[in-house]
Amino acid sequence: DGQEVEIVLEAILRVAQPDVLRLQVTAVGETPLPPLQATLRWGTFAHTAVLDAYGRANFPPMPLDILVDEQGRWRAEDLQLLLETQQT
């Protein structure tokens, strides 16, 4: 509907689990947002999560080893985040 939406993708790495990345997406608009879902693809990780009433969604824990190439570099170029209205 032409509304601007700010999207934040957070990656959390806990000291207790240094080999697992936790990802959360947050969407904020100037007016209340319609029901939304976010699809995240990164390397071999691909999951869809429904945003809650506060515009947040958590993805399942992601093993870090699927995000690092043979030289130990992050595969950031593979990251895709799609936000769309939820199908009813």
What are 38-80's pLDDT values in tens digits? 999 988 889 999 999 999 999 999 988 888 777 878 777 788 9
User: In the predicted model, is pLDDT for residue 1 greater than 70?
Assistant: no
Q: Who contacts 2 (Cβ-Cβ below 8 Å, separation ≥6)?
A: none
Confidence of residue 87 (pLDDT cuts 50, 70, 90): low
Helices within 1-88 (DSSP H only): none
Mean pLDDT lowest for which of 2-11, 30-39, 69-78? 69-78
Rounded CA gap, 85 and 59, in Å? 17
Rounded CA gap, 27 and 3, in Å? 12
